[in-house]
Amino acid sequence: MNWQSWSHFWAMGGYGLYVWGSYAVTLVVMIGEIVALLMRRRGVVESLTKYYAARGKNHEAKA
């Protein structure tokens, strides 16, 4: 183990801001990408469901 205590871990020898600033932003970006993907998927499924429903109604109306 490298760290004598949790506070040493968070301080990162004085460079805490830089190290944790890097890791935090990376985590935010990656989680953000995943969330955006999930939202995109849900959006696609919803819009396609509506699209097919509208087309289905059209076909019924024409029939």
Partner 1 sequence: MSKSKRVSWFYFSSPQTFYGLAGRLQPWFSALAVIFCVVGLYIGFFIAPTDAQQGESYRIIFIHVPSAWMSMFIYLVMGFWCGVGLVFNTRLSSMWATALAPTGALFTFIALWTGALWGKPTWGTWWVWDARLTSELILLFLYIGFMALQAAIDDQRRADKAGAVLALVGVINVPIIYFSVKWWSTLHQGSSVSMKSAPTMAMTMFAGMIVMALGFWMYSIATALSRVRCVILERERHTEWVMAEIGERK
14 lies in the site for partner 1, by CB under 8 A: yes
Choose between 17 and 63: whose C-beta lies nearer to partner 1: 17
Closest contact distance (angstroms) between CB of 36 and partner 1 is 8
**Of positions 5, 6, 7, 13, contacts partner 1 by CB under 8 A:** 13
Q: How many CA atoms lie within 13 A of 58 on its CB side?
A: 6
25 touches partner 1 (CB under 8 A) = yes
Single out the residue of 2, 7, 29 nearest to residue 21, CA to CA: 29
- Residues 43, 57: Cα–Cα separation, whole Å: 21
Please count the residues of this chain forming the interface with partner 1, following the rule CB under 8 A. Answer: 28
